[in-house]
């Protein structure tokens, strides 16, 4: 799965030891993959950050940050782990024990594997592994579509529900060169969400995002 | 400051362009350091994660995550930027403009510099730069002391204030191999905070941390 023979196989074995199947050692410490998961999470975050930085040279940091958090969230990583067949290996490791209580186990283990690859082979190899074996499975275009259009989602919703939606700029703070806009999003004249941003557009986008969450709109 | 001659000087110049001093280009885009800051934040996070992973081989991921977030927070990075003299360069860049409105500018710029170093020289060089020029300035022992002892802080407070503090285990969920403890922290018989964790100790630590925030105890 990693695409090359491991130098240190025990790292990969450890990566598969979820805390729920880990055994206590004599001194009461549990040997599990949680530390590898912590490390892998950080390395994955860095590689995904650079991937988006290069892929979208004209998008701002708000867009990049939001897209990244959608790619490295637990649910997205669970899906990838299933796609690449990691879930099969994990199920074997659990030897028939009930997995349903640990929904995040696939994504957790995927991160732990990234941590193991990083320790075993270093950053550059691990980066290639992440790009070729993980990021390739992301529907990045699908993700960015939903990242970009919270406001249009709200407008669409308001038309379907026949509700009146309005944005009000509450305040603009800062100085002429470094502004912060603070807006309210109103539905039928009532404030349901607020947002902030360095431009009016960004603040409205932020408020729309919060409104999508409050209204539980699928995005 | 980086410890070596840059290959691409313009990256470093860009890293110093805070959005408040950035000029609009003809097409309305602002050329600022925000994208570099986004990238640098991710790289810094990965290097700090590995640094702590290696430094504390017997500590769990909860401790590592908490310590990392204390190291890469805005205030800590502002302090480092001042220590290494980056603030002086930034002030020159601002040419006498008022900096006080942008308290986070030093830390932001430090992250942007990390992003520039990474793009200019690659991960391994950037990692050495972060270890030798940034992490070296952290009082890691001071940080971990406050990370570890929320509970003792609460006990200490209760003795000074002559208040009765108690922990109650509310519930233990999960299965025998993967438990989650849920505890309440009571002061004078009243619940003031709650906490969760995979052991009773961790749950109490978590509740104590929340209580420290609620009681506004300096930690």
- Using one digit for the tens of pLDDT, what is the confidence trace for B102-133? 668 899 999 999 999 999 999 999 999 999 99
ipTM more than 0.85? no
The alpha-carbon radius of gyration of chain B (Å, integer) is 22
pLDDT at position B72: 92
Q: Active-site residue among A34, A50, A61, A111?
A: A111
Rounded to whole angstroms, how far apart are CA atoms A196 and A206? 6
Mind telling me how many Å the CA of A32 is from chain B's nearest CA?
A: 10
pLDDT for B60-84, tens place per residue? 888 899 899 889 988 889 999 999 9
CB contact under 8 A, B19 and A123: no
pLDDT at position B171: 83
Which residues in chain B touch residue A127, judged by CB atoms under 8 angstroms apart? 123
Q: How many CB atoms lie within 10 A of CB B69?
A: 13
- If you average pLDDT over residues B204-215, what whole number do you get? 89
Q: Which pair of tokens denotes residue A198?
A: 């360095």
Give the residue ranges of the annotated binding site of A for Mg(2+): 37, 108, 111
**Domain B149-214 has what CATH class?**
alpha beta
pLDDT: is B58 or B135 the higher one?
Answer: B135
pLDDT at position A145: 74
- The percent of residues in chain B predicted with pLDDT above 70, rounded, is 89
Which residue, chain included where needed, has tokens 């952290």? B138
Q: Active-site residue among A23, A24, A34, A41?
A: A41
pLDDT at position B2: 72
CB contact under 8 A, B20 and A177: yes
Domain at A9-147: CATH code: 1.10.1520.10
pLDDT at position B218: 67
Q: What's A131-198 look like in SS3?
A: HHHHHHHCCHHHHHHHHHCHHHHHHHHHHHHCCCEEEEEEEEEEECCEEEEEEEEEECCEEEEEEEEC
Q: A165 — phi, psi (to 5°)?
A: -115, 135
Question: Where exactly are the structural domains of chain A?
Answer: 9-147, 149-214
Nearest 5 degrees, angle CA B209-CA B215-CA B219? 55
Q: How does the average pLDDT of chain B come out, rounded?
A: 86
Residue A34 known to be catalytic? no
Q: For residue A119, what is the nearest residue in chain B, using CA coordinates?
A: B50
Say what angle helices B105-121 and B86-94 make with each other, to 10 degrees.
100
Which of A19, A48, A49, A199 to probe the B interface (max B CBs under 10 A)?
A49
pLDDT for B131-151, tens place per residue? 999 999 998 888 887 666 788
pLDDT at position B147: 63
Q: Which pair of tokens denotes residue B181?
A: 């403890």
CB contact under 8 A, A42 and B43: no
Residue A124 known to be catalytic? no
Which DSSP string corresponds to A26-57?
Answer: TTS-B--THHHHHHHHHHHHHHHHHHHHHH-T
Nearest 5 degrees, angle CA A123-CA A41-CA A84? 85
DSSP A114: H
Taking alpha carbons only, the member of A64, A49, A8, A15 closest to residue A131 is A49
Taking alpha carbons only, the member of B121, B107, B97 closest to residue B20 is B97
Query: Is B111 assigned a ligand-binding role in the annotation?
Result: yes
pLDDT for B187-208, tens place per residue? 999 999 999 988 888 889 889 9
Find which of A47-56, B87-96, B181-190 is predicted with most confidence, using mean pLDDT.
Answer: A47-56
Residue numbers of chain A with a pLDDT score lower than 70: 23-30, 96-103, 146-148, 176-178, 218-219
Exposure string (b/e) for A149-161, b if CB count within 10 Å is 16 or more? Answer: bbbebbeebbeee
pLDDT at position B38: 96
Which DSSP string corresponds to B101-146?
Answer: T-TTHHHHHHHHHHHHHHHHH-HHHHHHHIIIIIGGGS-HHHHHHH
pLDDT: is B24 or B26 the higher one?
Answer: B24
Split at pLDDT 50, 70, 90, the class of B7 is: confident
Q: For residue B122, what is the nearest residue in chain A, using CA coordinates?
A: A124
């Amino acid at each position: 799965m990693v695409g090359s023979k491991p130098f240190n196989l025990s790292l990969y074995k450890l990566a598969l030891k979820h805390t729920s199947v880990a055994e206590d050692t004599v001194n009461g410490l549990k040997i599990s993959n949680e530390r590898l998961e912590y490390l892998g999470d950080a390395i994955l975050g860095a590689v995904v950050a650079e991937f988006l930085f290069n892929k979208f040279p004209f998008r701002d940091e708000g867009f990049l940050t939001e897209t990244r958090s959608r790619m490295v969230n637990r649910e997205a990583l669970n899906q990838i782990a299933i796609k690449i067949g990691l879930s099969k290996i994990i199920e074997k490791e659990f030897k028939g024990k009930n997995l349903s209580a640990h929904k995040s186990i696939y994504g957790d283990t995927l991160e732990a594997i990234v941590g193991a690859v990083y320790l075993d082979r270093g950053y550059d190899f691990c980066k290639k592994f992440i790009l070729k074996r993980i990021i390739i499975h992301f529907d990045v275009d699908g993700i960015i579509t939903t990242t970009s259009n919270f406001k249009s989602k709200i407008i669409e919703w308001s038309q379907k529900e026949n509700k009146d939606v309005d944005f009000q700029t509450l305040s603009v703070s800062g100085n002429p060169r470094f502004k912060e806009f603070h807006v309210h999003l109103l539905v039928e004249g009532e404030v349901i969400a607020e947002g902030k941003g360095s431009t009016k557009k960004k603040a409205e986008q932020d408020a729309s995002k919060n409104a999508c969450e409050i209204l539980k709109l699928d995005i």
